[in-house]
Structure formats: structure tokens, C-alpha cells
Chain A
Amino acid sequence: MLGPEILKWTKTISLSLTRQLTYKFDFLLTLVLPPLVLVSVSYALWAEIFDREKIKEIGGFTRDAMLRYQCWTFIAALLVRGHRSWNLSEDIRFGRITAFLLYPFTLWGAYASEFIAFQIIQLFVVAVSISALCLLNLVPMIPLATLASGLALSLLIAALWFSFEFLFGLLAFWLEETWILRYVFNLLTITLSGAFIPIELFPQWLQKVLQYTPFPLLTSIPVHVFLGSNSQPTLYLSLRVLFWTALASLCARYVWRRGIRLYSASGI
């Protein structure tokens, strides 16, 4: 009974892998370049601040600790904030999801397969990136257990990011342009997740507020796990991620049920 189901998934994942790697240069430009530029800018900014003013410590970060933090944000960004689901809104508006209403494979399944395929590619990109960072002496070698724990948590958080993006995409049943929501969420994530400035440098009141949001999970927490400076148990962090993922998935399910009633399949 499970056999055909697994076959559907593996076939779709393999198809997605081929599709995503067809235009390799475009893939690199769209998915590797943005986090690389972001981390290069923040790395340069922090190096300049520490070096020019001869500052020893800012918010508990020494120069080396801050620069290592910035390097690991690049790895976290590659794993967590990479999936491109911007086709979903276009698929809905142009009536292309009709096929999924007829196929023996759901729309969510197709997008989840694409997400899994993407994460497989990103794991290779991350392996190369970590090796390069270590070889360039930008980050020290970390214990294998810490690396494994960081990677596992990042992959779990990637599922959370996928759930949010899928939810935003589904709003295309009502909205003409859903890129706006994704763009704003992305901007807020870069600012509030500690991707540019570590959360430890935010005012105390904001740090407390952010604890009740998913933002720290999207950069700060996985980076601290990689750095080995995280004080919370990984199990607790995983439960937090699962809570937000479940919430986003439930919302997506609700939105799908409401939205599909409005859907008129063009081309039929």
C-alpha cells in the first residue's frame, strides 16, 4: 500500500531535482548569491566597526565572535530561507493547479517534493560552503555532533519556512499580488531574526517580544546552535519549531479549503 505512494514521492522529487538543476547558473544567481551578498555586507560592516574604533566587545560579542556569527548566518540562510515557492500564486491565478485536482498526487505533495529536492541540493551547497569557510579560516572546525545538531535543526526550520511560504502562496485565491507578503515577511525576517544584527544587540523589550514569535528561530537560534553557544536544549527548540510549523500548516489547510471554493479553472 505504501509502495506506490513512496514511488510517487521519489519520482516527483527526482523530477524536481532535474528541473531545478536545468539552469544551474540561474539557480546560483537566485539562491546562493543573495545570502552571500548579505553576509559579505554584514561581515564588512562589523569588521569596519570593530577595526576602525578599536572596540573590544559589543553586546557580548568580540570581533572574532561577531564575524563567526555572520559566517554562520550565511549557512543558516542557505538552509532555512531558500525555498522558492513563488510559482504557487502564479499557478493559482493562471489556473494551473487544475492538474493537481485531477492527478493522484496533491498540490501540497508536489510543492513539498520540490522543497525536499531543493533541500537536497542545498545540503551539497552547504557542505561546500562550510568547507570553504573552514579552509579560509573564517570559522574554526566545530565538533561533528554540534554540526549535525545545527544541520538537523536548520532542516526542521526550513520546513517551517516552507509552511509560511506555502500559506502566503495560497492567498493568491484572493489577492492579485502575493509577492508583497513574501517580500515584507522576508524583510522582517532579515531584520528581526538576527540575520544582520544579532538579537542580543536589540533593546531588552524587543528581545522579550521576539521570544514569542518565530523570528529568532529563522536565524539567531540555528546560528547559536552551530556556534555551540545556545543555552536551550535542542529538543525544546525542535518543539518550538514544530509548534509554529503546525500552526502555519493548519492555517494553510484552512486557507486552501476556503480558497478552492473560489477557484475557477481557466482553460477547461
Chain B
Amino acid sequence: MSTLRPYTRVIRQQIANSLAKLMAFRLSFIFLILVEVASLITAYIPASFLFNHVERVGPWNRSEFMFFIFWTQGMFCCHNGLVAPNFWNFAAEIRTGALDFRLLRPLGSVFDVMTAISRPASLMMLPISACCLVYFGLQIQLSILAWLTMPFVFCLAFLTMVVIELNLACLTFWTKGGDGANFVRMQCQQIQRWPDFMYPKRSRLFFSTAIPVLASGSFSVQFIFDTSRWDRIVLMGLAALVFWLLASYVWSRGLRQYESASS
């Protein structure tokens, strides 16, 4: 309990800082909401136009496909609000040497780096995604078990996504510019934005096992649609665990590789 106390205090302070910043830079706040609105609309529009011309995409009809779109969109809302700014900040801190100050603090370095910044404005679109999820979920008549397990599956999917991205972000220790690793991470998001069945067999296998970005989006929704497919959840949990262990190893190797720019 005493180990956890400093961490909870830091989180509390971070939330207070983020809210203070939110109130201080109101225009930025509005713009961040604009980003989320644009992101939601630009995810919905192509899928909607597509279904004006076709009945199904793969095994899914319009409602199922839209459910998937808003599921991933919800995950991206949480990602943009809680995690994404920290990845960019991490790259900048490695470049400038500001990471030194984080390493000196009496906190776990991964925790400190990944909770440095949050953007509550991005989280404000989460209820809209949730409403759309419920709307399309009702249309496809999800089972009670699916509704009950949905929050848990969502959290697990989000966690899996973050852990995989953490591994990719560790590339920043080795690439000089720093932005490159973030671009790889963003491209992985582009891949998980679409269901796994539309990828060719080899790509699907690669992105389900080697870099399992498809696990977080597709596997979780496949379980929601068919709750008898527990293997999807097990695989996703396994991916999260393996990639967490891998991230711990890569992070410690990266720290050894790190040459502070400020000292």
C-alpha cells in the first residue's frame, strides 16, 4: 500500500494539472474537441459511403461494421486523451535530454513517462462513441453476456493496444530523430482501424502474432459478437502479457543505450 501511495498522489496531481491547463488554454480545448469530432466523422463517412454501394464487407453487415468503427474510435478517444501525448513527449524528451529528470525521480520510469501528460478534452467524445456503440449494439442484438463483459473487454483491448505501442515507442531509444517511431506507431493504429478479415492471410498472421495490433480491435469485437469465442480474449490477454514483459526488457535495454543530450 505504501508503495502505491506516491503513484496515486502523482496521478491525482496530474489530473489537477490537466484540468488547470484545460481551463487556462480554452481555445486549445476547443481545438482538441474539434480533432476528436473530425476523427469521428472521418471514420464514419468512408464506411457509410462504402455501404451505399455494398451490402456486406466480409462477414459483417452495416451495423456490425459500424459497431466495430465506433469501438475502435472509443479506444482512440481514450488513447488520445491518456496515452498519445506521452509518446510524443517521450520522443521530445529523449531528443532534448529532458528524460534525465524523469529518471532521477523516485518513481518507475515507465509510469512517469506514460502519465506525464493527459488531455481530458479528448475524452469528452467518449460518451458519443459509447452512445453510437449502444445504438449499433442494439441493432445487432448483442447477448446479455456481451453487454455485461463489454467494459472489461474494452479495458483489456485498450491495455493491449497501449502495451504493444509501448514496445514500438521504445524504438525511439535507437532512432535518432524520434518522430519515426511515433509514425510507425500511428501506422499501426491505421491497421487496427479495420477488421482483421480484410487483410491478406500473411499480413493478418503477422499483425495478429508478431505485432498483434489486430488483437486489440478485431479480437475484442469478435468476442462481443460471439461470446462463445473465449479464445479471442485469452489470445488478447496473452498478447498483453507477452508484450508487457517484452516492453520491460526493451525499456531497460533502451535506458542503457540512452545517451543524455543534456549532460
**Interface, chain A (partner B; CB < 8 A):** 23, 25-26, 28-30, 33-34, 37-38, 40-41, 44-45, 47-49, 52-53, 55, 58-59, 175-177, 180-181, 183-184, 187-188, 190-191, 196-197, 201-203
Contact = CB atoms under 8 A, between A and B. Distances in A.
Contacts of A181: 31
Interface stretch (B10-18, B171-179, B255-263): B171-179
B79 to A, nearest CB: 14
Contacts of B53: 58-59, 201
Nearest to B24: A176
Contacts of A175: 27-28, 31
B42 A188 contact: yes
A191 B46 contact: yes
Contacts of B200: 44, 47
Given A187-B38, A187-B42, A38 B50 contact: no
Contacts of A59: 53
Nearest to A50: B54
Interface of B: 25, 27-28, 31-32, 34-35, 38-39, 41-42, 45-46, 49-50, 52-58, 175-181, 183-184, 186-187, 190-191, 193-194, 197-200, 203
A55 B39 CA distance: 30
27 contacts: A25-B175, A26-B176, A26-B180, A28-B180, A29-B175, A30-B180, A33-B187, A34-B187, A38-B190, A41-B193, A44-B200, A45-B198, A47-B200, A48-B197, A49-B50, A52-B56, A53-B54, A58-B54, A177-B31, A180-B35, A187-B38, A187-B42, A188-B38, A190-B42, A197-B49, A201-B52, A203-B52
Contact of B50 (A184, A190, A197): A197
Contact of A37 (B54, B57, B58, B191): B191
A33 B49 contact: no
A41 B38 contact: no
Contacts of A197: 46, 49-50
A85 to B, nearest CB: 14
Nearest to B37: A184
A57 B181 CA distance: 39
A153 B54 CA distance: 33
Contact of B203 (A33, A44, A184): A44
Nearest to B44: A191
A184 B27 CA distance: 15
A202 B49 CA distance: 6
Contacts of B52: 201, 203
A176 B42 contact: no
From B46, B52, B197, residue with most partner A Cβ within 10 Å? B46
B177 A44 contact: no
B184 A29 contact: yes
Contacts of B58: 48, 52
B175 A26 contact: yes
Contacts of A49: 50, 54, 57
Given A176-B25, A180-B35, 4 more contacts: A44-B194, A44-B203, A49-B54, A175-B31
A29 B35 CA distance: 24
A49 B58 CA distance: 7
A201 B197 CA distance: 23
A49 B32 CA distance: 34
Contacts of B41: 191
A196 B48 CA distance: 13
Contacts of B39: 187
B28 A176 contact: yes
B190 A191 contact: no
A184 B54 CA distance: 28
Contacts of A55: 54
A19 B52 CA distance: 47
What 7 pairs across the A-B complex have the smallest Cβ distances?
A29-B180, A26-B177, A26-B180, A37-B187, A48-B198, A180-B31, A191-B42
